[in-house]
Structure 1
């Protein structure tokens, strides 16, 4: 049986509320730190920087302050009002008189006062329950919004990663992918003493083509050329990419100069046969090609040296009249 006096009960309730406030003040920031850290980790971010840690600290601080304010408004304040009501009820003296005529009315008044106090307590508890449900509903909505935002960020990240490796106009690889593949295949050819052919292709008079037929016809021609390259070079090891503008490249592991020359001459004839734009009777769109090939008999010091040799061969093809294939020395 409790030995606390009635005067000690309000103070005990106040201490309990203070203890609850202290526990919430300590627990909410810790939970927010764990939630924010889990969210950042799910995004697959890099190692945290001082600026990133400072930003996370401010975010945790703001979230904790907002949550503590909500708890203070919707939970602790109603509890304080309830405790105050109980204190007021308990502080009302209960007369213990036994005189016949005055006892019954005073007892009825005290019972009525107790009933009103209990009704106020029930009302306060109901309001507290409603506030808790509202808080739970808002937290659920925030969690759903957070999950939706995370899903959107992940979709955007995948789309961005795809765009970083694909030319948006033609759908073939971009220069970043080509640079990685060139370094990789060059090292493999050196290690295995194998063959590696590299062709740089540039459409002839393409600026004049755009001025004559329009930008849309030029974009369509670039797409047709990319499709032709993808059809002609379709081995798993082949790579075709657009370097930018009207310049393309074909990386052909296992091909020597002679094999690559035959395929590229056929491709040049096929492009002329397309008679771009769309079977026009005018001078068709043509291509100039520079070809270089690394082999044990004709090695190159680096992948960049191989690419430079192909570029120089393309320069010769352009200045020799265009619409031709030039071989690196």
Structure 2
């Protein structure tokens, strides 16, 4: 024998469940309120409740129960009824059976088209922005490489300018500025270490007549040959050879006294006399003034040593040229 109960129609199931829930809340809330109030009264004075306080307690329970039921009605039961009504409406709505029935309304279709068009335009804009960003990164990379190359070129130019600032443009040996720095440095070192320092001033004899006879280009070539000979003969790491200007040169010989420097310079003068100039343009001779600082013969300053060498050169020039003269 079957004990199955007949099922309620789907349309009545949700209202019946809500009615049952309301009934249970109506019964349960007052009972729970009575229990809470009794516990509260017991905590205050025990179970001995005066007769005149029963009415007050009853009214309190009634008011609390009514307030709770109203809150539950507003916060729980009404939203549940609206939800149930929405579900019933969805269940009772006709279901489209054919694709034609699923076609959106004309207004909705136009709106969907506009949304799709806007999305396509947004995708195109994002793609273009990505391409622009890639191009910008490539340009920045190229600019960074160009900047690095420019910086390297600038450093090379600065080194070249620094070299030019210390080098004679025609002969490639040191210029007066570089020589002055070397003279001050070596003079202080000789004073500090009580060492030797020789200084020679060299001047080509009658070089103006040579230029007038053979031309400026030949004179420049002769100066270059003289500078090369000086570098070849005075080639110690400490030796400094410079062109002071025109046909005048200077040699700084650290560690050499008067005798050692005189021997080296006499050989240099002989080598220059034997030097063959291009196209048979004759020969050149040197007049040299030599001064040397030593502990036995000190000088007060580097300028004083240079002046002594200049005075010795003046003596050599007026004594007939092509000779070496020693400072007093």
Aligned to 1:146: 147
Q: Give the distance between the partners of 1:244 and 1:176, measured in 2 at CA.
A: 11
Q: Which runs of 5+ in 2 are unaligned?
A: 1-93, 95-100
Q: Give the distance between the partners of 2:103 and 2:253, measured in 1 at CA.
A: 112
TM-superposed CA distance for 1:101, in Å, is 11
Aligned to 2:289: 290
Q: TM-score, normalising length from structure 1?
A: 0.65
Q: Give the distance between the partners of 1:325 and 1:186, measured in 2 at CA.
A: 22
- Equivalent runs, 1:190-201 vs 2, <5 Å: 190-201=191-202
Give the number of equivalent residue pairs.
Answer: 230
TM-superposed CA distance for 1:306, in Å, is 0.2
- Equivalent runs, 1:231-310 vs 2, <5 Å: 231-277=232-278, 279-280=280-281, 282=282, 284-310=283-309
Aligned to 2:212: 211
TM-superposed CA distance for 1:232, in Å, is 1.4
SS at match of 1:300: coil
Q: Give the distance between the partners of 1:161 and 1:268, measured in 2 at CA.
A: 32
- Whose Rg is larger? 2
Q: Give the distance between the partners of 1:236 and 1:278, measured in 2 at CA.
A: 34
Aligned to 2:46: none
- Equivalent runs, 1:132-143 vs 2, <5 Å: 132-143=133-144
Q: Give the distance between the partners of 1:194 and 1:141, measured in 2 at CA.
A: 58
Q: Give the distance between the partners of 1:102 and 1:292, measured in 2 at CA.
A: 114
TM-superposed CA distance for 1:279, in Å, is 4.3
Q: TM-score, normalising length from structure 2?
A: 0.65
SS at match of 2:274: helix
TM-superposed CA distance for 1:278, in Å, is 5.1
Q: Give the distance between the partners of 1:127 and 1:254, measured in 2 at CA.
A: 75
Aligned to 1:317: 316
Q: Give the distance between the partners of 1:193 and 1:123, measured in 2 at CA.
A: 84
RMSD, aligned CA: 2.2
Query: Residues 296-320 of structure 1: CA distance to partner in whole angstroms, max 9, x if unpaired?
Result: 2211100110000001111121122
Q: Give the distance between the partners of 1:299 and 1:287, measured in 2 at CA.
A: 27
Report if aligned partners of 1:277, 1:285 keep a CA contact under 8 Å in 2.
no
Report if aligned partners of 1:200, 1:310 keep a CA contact under 8 Å in 2.
yes
Q: Which runs of 5+ in 1 are unaligned?
A: 1-97
